[in-house]
Amino acid sequence: MPGGVNLGEPARAVRQDANGVEVMTDYSHYRADRVVIAVPPSLQGGIEFTPELPVPRQRLAAQMPMGSVIKAVVAYERPFWRDAGLSGEAVSHTLAFNTVFDASWPVERGGALVGFFDGQSALDYADADPAVRRQAVLDSLATYFGKAAREPLDYVDYNWLADSWARGGYTGVMGPGIMTTLGPALRAPVGRVHWAGTETATRWCGYIEGALLSGERAAAEVMTTVR
């Protein structure tokens, strides 16, 4: 639908020729002059491109996997850690829940800690029972902030590694040498196909701010080309 946003309609193929681009989805097909694709490079393999993408772009996608992260938010009656003069921030190289921040709303409404199983820790707990992950979080928080951390009002986590539309987070990761050898393919248009998404941001890569900046950059590319 022109001017609309269609959800739950995965794009399966992108076909371009001298006259435009056709995007095929599970339910329909769309014709446009140009297309902006804003998926992580590692997920572009789920889309069939005709003609095929240049080899550098294919290689970049194959060698830029998503990071490994599971996010959790733990709610408390009050931000008790502040009583001890603690900021609520913690980082560990040994505990499972290895990065934590204070995510509290106004004091009179309660407190919260938000944090992550990052890297190898996320891989270790990706297939664990949610109750096991919860216990690992509370054990880690108790080490950081004391036994009061074991008595939350609520707990929720999200396993980004298990999300088929993300496969990890919060951004694609380039190994040694990838930026210098394949980096230019990250943002280089391929005919009528332009690339956006937080991975392509020149600032705030991995964050929503980066995604917004990438959208502005891709829109400017399209407008410049159309003119």
Q: Output the pTM of the full model.
A: 0.88
Residue burial 182-200, b: 16+ Cβ < 10 Å; e: rest: beebbbeebebbbbbbbbb
| pLDDT for res 104 | 93
| pLDDT for res 178 | 96
| pLDDT for res 168 | 94
Beta-bridged to residue 20, according to DSSP, are 17
User: Could you list the pLDDT tens digit for every one of the 227 residues in the chain?
Assistant: 567 888 999 999 999 999 999 999 999 999 999 999 999 999 999 999 999 999 999 999 999 999 999 999 999 999 999 999 999 999 999 999 999 999 998 766 789 999 999 999 999 999 999 999 999 999 999 999 999 999 999 999 999 999 999 999 989 999 999 999 999 999 999 999 999 999 999 999 999 999 999 999 999 999 998 65
| pLDDT for res 225 | 81
| pLDDT for res 71 | 97
Structure tokens that stand for 6 in this block: 């269609």
| pLDDT for res 227 | 55
Instruction: Give the domains, in start order, of the chain with CATH numbers.
Output: 11-64+172-226 (3.50.50.60), 69-162 (3.90.660.10)
- Strand 193-195, strand 35-37: pairing: parallel
Beta-bridged to residue 48, according to DSSP, are 13
- Return the number of other C-beta atoms located less than 10 Å from residue 158's C-beta: 14
d(CA 45, CA 66): 13
Distance, first Cα to last Cα, the chain: 24
